[in-house]
A and B are shown apart, each in its own frame.
Chain A
Amino acid sequence: MINKIIRNIILFIVLVLFQEMVLNQLQFSVYFNPTIYVFFILILPFETPNWLLLVLAFVLGMSVDIFSNTLGLTILASVFIAFCRPGILSIISPRQEYEPGLQPTIRDLGFGWFLTYAGVLIFIHHTLLFFLEAFTFDHFAFTISKVLVSSLASLAFCVVLQFLVFKPKK
């Protein structure tokens, strides 16, 4: 248990620093703004209480915001997906109940399941993030294509990270 908590704290710090020091410095294109930190909210165990989920999402959002000088923006978007997570999980549950001890990962629940689950939450996150950042519907086509490209990129990053963080069962 303690081992798991320490592991998650390290993951948290690594994700926030990787987001700021690598992804935010890429400046590859205006459309390409992947967010890797959502991975942390995605892979928290099923038995995490809802209040803890919201608090962790708040702290995560604030850490990212402090680095990118957008205090409040990421907090809102990540707390919102933490709020949506239990609902999405119950909608796309493979069986009636998630077995205790499982984690929302490819290893435990399969590739297709994870793509749907992560895809929906990441899309919601980016939609909120970029439309609030622009704070207008004026350049709708631009913002929505930014949402799509960045969501796909984040999803790809999350899938790759899965294999790095969770070793496959033998």
Chain B
Amino acid sequence: MINSTLEFTGFFHKKYSNFVSYFSLKEANQLLLAENARLRSHQPASFLISTNKIITVNDTTYRQRYEYVDANVVNNSVNKVSNFITLDKGSNFGIKNDMAVISSSGIVGIVKEVSPNFALVISVLNKDSKISAKQKKTNQVGTLVWEENDYRYATLKDIPLHISVNVGDTIATSGFSGIFPEGLPIGIVADYNSNKGINFYTIKVKLLNDFNNLSHVYIVKNLMKEEQTNLEEKVSNDK
């Protein structure tokens, strides 16, 4: 039911977003330029060999783990309790459920439903969204949820009280669930408090992503996710 209605509503949303996307073209271009600049600075060509005495032999062979598919946002909301995002790529492009969606500045959500041409994403701004996140400094893992009802902030839970937390700390993805690649920045700590009776902080995280102005995103395909989940399920079935 949801699958076939997604095709129908996606059609209208795509027409609409085709029309309004021109208005945010300038900002979208700025963001993409900034990302290009950042990626360019990571290229091997932009590193200068600082010493010619040490020769590094890099004999590791690499295997592709993540693949990125670009997509456009055709529908988005930030003012509900359960916010969803519709993207204009679906199973025709190999998009499947539980794939991560990120933008050039942060994480966006997780794919929930796909139809041939569209994908429905549970936004981070959804009361049912739970994302494994860590404090980058200490690698302490917690759960990122959204209960602020404000599209600029999310809440990080389950960080124990003996860890030192400061305003301005970076919060990044943990990569544990096999959905998001590890170490993607999510936001910075804006405020934190330790409730009496609970041994965990409640941390208010300022999201890096501007959810109110989302146009170009990437869908992340984890090529080894199946292998990971199969292995993990095998252990839990053996119990």
Residues of A within 8 A of B (CB): 17, 20-21, 24-25, 27-30, 32-33, 66-71, 130, 133-135, 139, 142
Contact = CB atoms under 8 A, between A and B. Distances in A.
Interface in B92-128: 120, 127
Contact of A71 (B2, B78, B80): B2
Interface of B: 1-2, 5, 8-9, 12, 16, 20, 77-82, 84, 120, 127, 147, 149-151, 212
B81 A67 contact: no
B8 A133 contact: no
Contacts of B84: 68-69
Contact of B5 (A24, A25, A66): A66
B149 A21 contact: no
A17 B20 CA distance: 16
A21 B9 contact: no
B16 A133 contact: no
A21 B1 contact: no
Contacts of B147: 139
Given A21-B12, A30-B149, A133-B82, A71 B1 contact: yes
Contact of B77 (A24, A134, A135): A24
A134 B126 CA distance: 10
Contacts of A135: 127
B79 A30 contact: yes
Contacts of B1: 71
Given A21-B12, A30-B150, A133 B80 contact: yes
9 closest residue pairs by CB, A with B: A69-B84, A66-B5, A30-B79, A133-B81, A67-B9, A134-B81, A27-B79, A21-B16, A30-B149
Nearest to A17: B12
A120 B9 CA distance: 31
Contact of B12 (A20, A32, A130, A134): A20
A69 B112 CA distance: 11
Given A27-B77, A69-B82, 20 more contacts: A24-B77, A25-B20, A27-B79, A28-B79, A29-B79, A30-B79, A30-B149, A30-B150, A30-B151, A33-B79, A66-B5, A66-B9, A67-B9, A67-B12, A68-B80, A68-B84, A69-B120, A135-B127, A139-B149, A142-B149
A69 B79 CA distance: 14
A32 B78 CA distance: 11
